[in-house]
Structure formats: C-alpha cells, structure tokens
C-alpha cells in the first residue's frame, strides 16, 4: 500500500507539473497566432481522440444518463476554458496560473449557497487571503482592474461549478468516459464559433497545440486519475495546487515574464490560502471529484 501511495503522489505531482507547463504551451500557441476558440476546438478534439482510444471499450454511448450528465459538464468545462484562455491572452500565463487556483476557494462558497448553509470561518479567512493575493497580482501601478484578470476570476468560478457537477456524477464511476465526452463537447462547441471569428489555422505553433491537447488533456488526466485512487482527496488537492506554482515559474523561465515582489507575495497568499483550506478537511467539507 505504501508503494502505491508514493506512486500515487508522484503521479499527482507529475500531473500538476504537466498542467502547469500547459499554461506555457497555451501562451506559445497564442503568440504563434492561434485564436483562443480555435485552439480550444483543436485541443478538445485531440484530447478526446486520445482518451477515446482507451474508453471506447466501455461503450459509454449506451449509458444515456452518463451521456446527458457528461454533456452538461462539458458545457461548464468549455465555458471555463474559454474564459481562462481569453483571460490568459490578455493577462499572461503567470496570472492565469495563480488566479485559476481560486476555484478551490469558490467551490465551498457555491456549495454552501446551493445547500443554504453557513460558510465556515476557515473558508472566510482563506477567501480573504486569496482576495488580497489576487489584488496584489492583478493591480499594477494605478488602482485599475485588468480585464484579463476578471475573465480569469470568472474562469475560476466556472471551474468550481464544474467540480460540483462532477461531484454529483460520482455514482457513474467512469471518469475516463466522462472526460472523453467532455473534451469532445468542448471541441464541438468551440469549432461552431470559429467560422464567425474570421480566423485562419496558423502554420506554426502546432507543437504547443499538441501539448495542450495530448499532454495536458490526455496524459495529465491519466496521471491524476491514477493518483487520486491511491491518495486521500485532501492531500491530492494540495499536490494539484502546485499547478499554479509550476505555471508561474514556467512563465518566468520561458517568456521572461516580469515577476515583481508584489506578484510574489500575491501568489504566496493565494497558494497559501488554498493550502490552509485543504489542510483542515475535518473543519470544512468541500466536494471533491475523487
């Protein structure tokens, strides 16, 4: 059991790393001229096709309830990725990596609102710390709010809603098929908008796109699924939070993105608030997808 526990944690760290570098890959594709909607369409079809090679034996298309739930979850996932990718195009990969992590804070708030329950004091403390962190990251120079950062906050809210939807779908016990369907939904929904955007398929940047589709949406998902089978959800959530750290470091290393002391403290507060929230699972119940 200890062997599988260590292997599971290693898989989760690898997954967080691959997702973090995914922010770098998205930035590379955007700089190569890829329109966010076109990028997401190709990413969805690539990732979906890869996972379909492993999930088709499960014949998930015969389960109408799973199809229905997965289609709805796919819409939420698509909206979250659209907000994230457009937000990153305006704000940068470091901000995208940090602010997206807010979904961990928003999830218990939305859950409490839905269930008409009081929000725990621990959640309030974490929320306040994360709010200050986002402010330090987003506000530069004059006290002005960045439009891209606003989209990233919307993205975090949508990811929180998506997580709650997946939590309700736990009875299906088929994460692979559910993810396959969701990726194809994203591909279809995004490609429908492409003709109205008057964009062309760039001849460069395909390596970045392939990474987003095959590695971020394929391999990283396999690693996460395996890891969460052998690691408690509270510990898994903490490990996966390193996605934000890897993403920010990747932005600094690969794109020489300026990383001021203000951004450092903002990121520290934001990631610290997530750690604080996840380290007290007995005090606050947060739905998970494990």
| Amino acid 94: pLDDT | 79
Q: Is residue 68 part of a domain?
A: yes
Q: Is residue 285 part of a domain?
A: no
Q: Is residue 163 part of a domain?
A: yes
| Amino acid 25: pLDDT | 92
| Amino acid 118: pLDDT | 74
| Amino acid 47: pLDDT | 92
Range of the domain at 123: 2-278
Q: Is residue 290 part of a domain?
A: no
| Amino acid 45: pLDDT | 95
Per the structure, the count of domains in the chain is 1
Q: Is residue 120 part of a domain?
A: yes
pLDDT digits (tens, 9 = 90+) for 28-76: 999 999 999 999 999 999 999 999 988 888 888 888 898 998 999 899 9
Q: Is residue 289 part of a domain?
A: no
Distance CA 74, CA 11 (A): 25
Distance CA 242, CA 248 (A): 10
| Amino acid 282: pLDDT | 47
| Amino acid 211: pLDDT | 95
In tens digits, the chain (290 residues) has pLDDT values of 455 667 878 888 898 899 889 989 999 999 999 999 999 999 999 999 999 988 888 888 888 898 998 999 899 999 999 999 999 999 888 788 878 878 877 877 787 788 777 767 777 777 777 777 777 766 655 545 678 889 999 999 998 888 788 777 767 777 788 889 999 999 999 999 999 988 888 999 999 999 999 998 888 877 877 776 677 655 666 677 778 788 878 887 887 776 677 777 877 887 787 777 666 654 444 444 33
| Amino acid 287: pLDDT | 47
- What's phi and psi for 145, nearest 5 deg? -90, 135
Q: Is residue 22 part of a domain?
A: yes
């Amino acid at each position: 059991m200890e062997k599988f526990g260590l292997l599971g944690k290693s898989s989760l760290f690898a997954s967080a790393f691959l997702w973090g570098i995914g922010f770098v890959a998205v930035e590379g594709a955007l700089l190569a001229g890829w329109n966010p909607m076109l990028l997401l369409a190709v990413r969805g079809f690539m990732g979906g096709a890869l996972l379909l090679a492993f999930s088709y034996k499960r014949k998930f298309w015969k389960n109408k309830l799973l199809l229905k739930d997965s289609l709805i979850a796919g819409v939420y996932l698509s909206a979250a990725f659209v907000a994230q990718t457009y937000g990153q195009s305006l704000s940068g990969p470091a901000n995208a990596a940090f602010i997206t992590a807010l979904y961990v804070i928003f999830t218990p708030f939305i859950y409490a609102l839905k269930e008409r329950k009081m929000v725990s004091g621990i959640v309030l403390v974490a929320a306040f710390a994360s709010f200050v962190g986002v402010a330090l990251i987003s506000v530069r120079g004059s006290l002005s709010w960045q439009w891209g950062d606003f989209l990233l906050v919307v993205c975090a809210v949508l990811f929180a809603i998506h997580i709650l939807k997946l939590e309700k779908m736990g009875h299906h016990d088929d994460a692979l098929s559910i993810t396959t369907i969701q990726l194809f939904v994203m591909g279809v929904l995004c490609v429908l908008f492409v003709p109205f955007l008057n964009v062309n398929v760039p001849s460069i940047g395909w390596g970045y796109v392939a990474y987003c589709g095959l590695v971020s949406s394929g391999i990283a998902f396999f690693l996460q699924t395996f890891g969460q089978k052998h690691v408690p959800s509270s510990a898994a959530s903490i490990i996966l939070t390193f996605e934000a750290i890897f993403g920010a470091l990747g932005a600094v290393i690969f794109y020489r993105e300026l990383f001021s002391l203000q951004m450092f403290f903002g990121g520290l507060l934001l990631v610290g608030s997530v750690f604080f929230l996840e380290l007290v699972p007995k005090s606050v119940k947060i739905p998970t997808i494990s």
